[in-house]
């Protein structure tokens, strides 16, 4: 009974018309795509079926973000901690970008989307790395939405790598400690060139960061939904943007 009421409530919630203003669209939306496994389990199917359907949600989210005029969309696809999952699941997840790009790259090019990747790509299996590199190369001159995949990405690893690189530069005498600024660090992270996310979305009801963009989300607005990632569609993105537009961003000051 309780479950039925909850479902009714969430369906009712989805039916509310969502109004957003075209003037205050978040430039950079970052999404922690979570809940693929639970989505599948609920249907009595193996976890990988959830990942397969998650891929369709990636397409929906990309088109929706493009339609709304979002400039940068970062999708957390695989974390540095996800290697601890069973090998079969990891292998499946590593084949997904290959499949996704084989199906979607031409349309992404048509839509003027620029594909990027952030994370430790050297450690990816060669077929995954090659597919990503090809997509990046073929979309390099596109000027539309920037679709940035966080693949083998970890916020702490990124900061660790940055600190090591800065330490080496100091040791080599080409950088002084006084020259280290927030801007310099920004430029040395794998998100270099992207503005900080304005809006961070996480699906599946979890309310944690799971090592995602720890430096960059200092002043991002957060939006959570109970929907599992394979269910995510344009309505969810619009709900998130509508909520974002109701927020007052103060950055520690007074408005």
Q: Nearest residue by C-beta to ligand IPE?
A: 37
Within 82-121, the residues that bind ligand IPE by CB under 6 A are 82, 93
Q: Please tell me whether residue 210 binds ligand IPE under the rule CB under 6 A.
A: yes
- Looking at the DSSP bridge assignments, the partners of residue 74 are 30, 148
77 binds ligand IPE (CB under 6 A): yes
Nearer to Mg ion, 81 or 107 (CB): 81
- Mark the segment that binds Mg ion (CB under 5 A) among 21-29, 34-42, 132-140, 233-241: 34-42
Contact 145, 216 (CB under 8 A): no
Nearest approach, Cβ of residue 73 and ligand IPE (Å): 14
User: Which structure tokens are listed for 110?
Assistant: 């048509």
| Contact status: 34 vs Mg ion (CB under 5 A) | yes
Active-site residue, 34 included: yes
Q: With binding defined as CB under 6 A, does residue 206 bind ligand IPE?
A: yes
Query: Is 204 a residue that touches ligand IPE (CB under 6 A)?
Result: yes
Indicate if 82 belongs to the active site: yes
Q: Is 76 in the site for ligand IPE (CB under 6 A)?
A: yes
The footprint of ligand IPE on residues 31-60 (CB under 6 A) is 32-38
Site string for ligand IPE, 211-230 (x = CB under 6 A): ------------------x-
Is 37 annotated in some ligand binding site? yes
- What distance in Å separates the CA atoms of residue 220 and residue 212, rounded to the nearest whole number? 12
* Among candidate residues 206, 211, 240, 213, the one with its CA nearest the CA of residue 148: 213
Residue with smaller CB distance to ligand IPE, 212 or 244: 212
- The residue from 24, 53, 66, 82 that is catalytic is 82
**CA separation for the pair 112, 66 (Å, rounded):** 10
Identity of the residue, 92 or 244, whose beta carbon is nearer to Mg ion in the bound complex:
92
In the complex with ligand IPE, the residue whose CB is nearer, 33 or 118, is: 33
Q: Residue positions in the annotated binding site?
A: 34-39, 47, 51, 79-81, 83, 85, 202, 208-210, 221
Task: Enumerate binding residues for ligand IPE (CB under 6 A).
Answer: 32-38, 76-79, 82, 93, 204, 206, 208, 210, 229
Residues known to be catalytic = 34, 82
Task: Enumerate binding residues for Mg ion (CB under 5 A).
Answer: 34
């Amino acid at each position: 009974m309780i479950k039925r009421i909850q479902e009714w409530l969430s369906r009712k919630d989805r039916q509310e018309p969502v109004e957003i203003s075209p003037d205050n669209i978040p430039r950079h939306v970052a999404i922690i795509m979570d809940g693929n496994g639970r989505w599948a389990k609920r249907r009595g199917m193996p976890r990988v079926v959830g990942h397969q359907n998650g891929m369709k949600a990636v397409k929906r989210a990309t088109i929706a973000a493009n339609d709304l005029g979002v400039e940068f969309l970062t999708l957390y696809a695989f974390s540095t901690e996800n290697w601890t999952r069973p090998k079969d699941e990891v292998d499946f997840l590593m084949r997904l970008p290959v499949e996704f790009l084989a199906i979607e790259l031409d349309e992404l090019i048509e839509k003027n989307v620029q594909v990027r990747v952030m994370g430790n790509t050297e450690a990816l299996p060669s077929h995954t790395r090659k597919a990503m590199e090809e997509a990046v190369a073929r979309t390099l001159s596109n000027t539309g939405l920037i679709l940035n995949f966080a693949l083998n990405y970890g916020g702490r690893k990124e900061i660790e790598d940055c600190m090591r690189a800065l330490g080496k530069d100091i040791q080599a005498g080409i950088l002084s400690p006084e020259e280290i600024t927030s801007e310099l660090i920004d430029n040395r992270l794998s998100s270099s060139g992207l503005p900080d996310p304005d809006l961070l979305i996480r699906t599946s009801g979890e309310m944690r960061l799971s090592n995602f963009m720890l430096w960059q989300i200092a002043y991002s607005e957060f939006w959570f939904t109970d929907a599992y990632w394979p269910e995510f569609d344009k309505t969810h993105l619009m709900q998130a943007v509508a909520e974002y537009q109701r927020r007052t961003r103060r950055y520690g000051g007074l408005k």
